[in-house]
Structure 1
């Protein structure tokens, strides 16, 4: 592919794939700028979409943007490009999270092939807030997911039964705190879409993606409805033995959060390719004291950035995305 082949149709396709990434409450806290002369894409944080109460240091914002960055890398490799990424390239502007130079691919190396093969999973992956089967995850699948995280500089740990109990207790503690703190519910209410609004939304979590209410079972899921009524939602039983995984990084600064986001999305795309469904919970990580307890004191290392729930079950519905024209600037 030559430089003149990198037209706006290609760039638009890359951004559309990038923005299919998950983000906290589907706030989509990113913007992109394409510098035509340098074949350069800049990823910027959109602070107007930050969570003032539940993500005051913008850790989750960086993770979401990191996930979008990984999708961009996958889409670029699929398009025959070689994405060369620099994190936090402008010390004077911390909102510039990454610079991606879209070079011509010089060959089909193992790294490029490994990224490109994940491209179909970008559109197949959706957060699932539905029950999963009571079926274990094969060890070879667990190994593949651990490897995926390690390729992005993170660690994926499948905790043992006793620590899963701890994580479930932390989720319940977080839910109790939200119930007692009106300010803690402010972010959730801002980013949920009920009634007719759900049908026209371009961001946030629409009511059709809330999933059913839990009758029993122990899957750690945030109830986006809260006490608000949602028509035809239903109540079902969830799995009693959820399969959880902890994604951690050795550091806990903005660059680490961006790496965590890339690792998270690589894990999710690998899981989707292996026939797994998944959901995320940052609920016990939104308070500093609970987040510290999320790390396994025996085998865990570093800083827990996300709790994943994985299993065999239905993929959730696609959630809305902003049009590319709303998130892309061209200079």
Structure 2
């Protein structure tokens, strides 16, 4: 029977910590138990107000799980993955048990190679359109992880999304406790967590179609407006249970890595998901029976700035 050892744990965790998380809160830990690698929720790194009862953390943990899967597969030691394996241990989000050794597929190699290059780019993108074949690959990436992805096409769809996103953003801006939590994760250049100024968006201006979280309060340079017709993706799942959130995180990361491999950048737009009324309005506007789990903007742009990560030793649990 195959078993992972400490080198497999470290390989999986080193990839896992590169996953995206809301406010770069990094709510994960990794451990080796009975020859399996486990992805754990770190209860001390949960967002109390912005996380929608753990939704944001579960998305991040799903993304970390996908990265860990790719790291193990790329080494020829793929895993069989069980999500939420034990109701008595809700902190265990995923258990990666060794499967039969085999060479990695080309897709696994490409996705794994993109992990270190993927990071949120909150700056304006160029107006170059994303080719149709790449859009198809993004949709297929979501489907491969049990999720769906709608790419909004045309100004009617974009304007409708813009109204929902701005409405949700106004609700969140009026919540002083919510804004206080956001500030604690902002301008963290001297730390290993949160959003540094270099990686933050500029503040939203009246002409912007999509609201931005201006973490650092920076104004943009003249002539650097955001794209007039951005490509917006809305990713969702059939349900809205804890399992759906983890599945959505895996799908989101697979989409983002596929985009990175195609030379694209992306940034999350979570406001319409965080406000229940806006989320339901978004679902109805898409004509979907499932639930949206994340929206994001994607396109071609200048290289961005990665957010910091905690040291590997800090995320390994005993």
Task: Give the TM-score range, shorter chain.
Answer: over 0.9
> Which one has the bigger strand percentage?
1
Structure 2 CA distance for aligned equivalents of residues 314 and 180 of structure 1 = 33
Size of the aligned set, in residue pairs, is 315
Counterpart check, 1:269 vs 2:250: no
**2:209 aligned partner:** 218
> Closer, same or farther in 2 for the Cα pair 1:214/1:179, shift >3 Å?
closer
Residue 114 of structure 1, CA deviation? 2.4
Structure 1 CA distance for aligned equivalents of residues 286 and 237 of structure 2 = 16
Among candidates 59, 71, 74, match of residue 70 of structure 2: 74
Among candidates 260, 270, 277, match of residue 282 of structure 1: 270
Contact 1:213–1:234 (CA under 8 A) maintained in structure 2? no
Residue 301 of structure 1, CA deviation? 3.6
Where 1:272 maps in the other structure, the secondary structure is helix
Among candidates 306, 313, 317, match of residue 325 of structure 1: 313
Q: Which sections of structure 2, spanning at least 5 residues, go unmatched?
A: none
Contact 1:248–1:301 (CA under 8 A) maintained in structure 2? no
Structure 1 CA distance for aligned equivalents of residues 286 and 6 of structure 2 = 51
Structure 2 CA distance for aligned equivalents of residues 138 and 296 of structure 1 = 27
CA RMSD of aligned residues (A): 2.1
**1:59 aligned partner:** 55
Structure 2 CA distance for aligned equivalents of residues 295 and 163 of structure 1 = 13
Structure 2 CA distance for aligned equivalents of residues 211 and 74 of structure 1 = 30
Moved over 6 A (4+): none
Residue 214 of structure 1, CA deviation? 5.0
Where 2:170 maps in the other structure, the secondary structure is helix
Where 2:152 maps in the other structure, the secondary structure is coil
Among candidates 120, 143, 147, match of residue 150 of structure 1: 143
**2:21 aligned partner:** 23
Where 2:65 maps in the other structure, the secondary structure is helix
Where 1:246 maps in the other structure, the secondary structure is strand
Residue 7 of structure 1, CA deviation? 4.9
Where 1:98 maps in the other structure, the secondary structure is strand
Q: Please give the TM-score of this superposition, normalised by the length of structure 2.
A: 0.92
Structure 2 CA distance for aligned equivalents of residues 137 and 320 of structure 1 = 29
Among candidates 246, 249, 256, match of residue 244 of structure 2: 256
> Closer, same or farther in 2 for the Cα pair 1:213/1:183, shift >3 Å?
closer
Q: Write the mapping of 1:156-175 to structure 2, written as runs, cut at 5 A.
A: 156-160=149-153, 161-175=155-169
Deviations for 1:185-220, whole angstroms, at most 9, x for unmatched residues?
A: 12211211x2xx41x311111111113345544244
Deviations for 1:138-190, whole angstroms, at most 9, x for unmatched residues?
A: 11111100000000000000123323212211221122223322012122112
Residue 280 of structure 1, CA deviation? 0.6
**1:139 aligned partner:** 132
Where 1:134 maps in the other structure, the secondary structure is coil
Q: Which sections of structure 1, spanning at least 5 residues, go unmatched?
A: none
**1:178 aligned partner:** 172
Structure 1 CA distance for aligned equivalents of residues 229 and 197 of structure 2 = 26
Residue 222 of structure 1, CA deviation? 1.7
Where 1:315 maps in the other structure, the secondary structure is coil
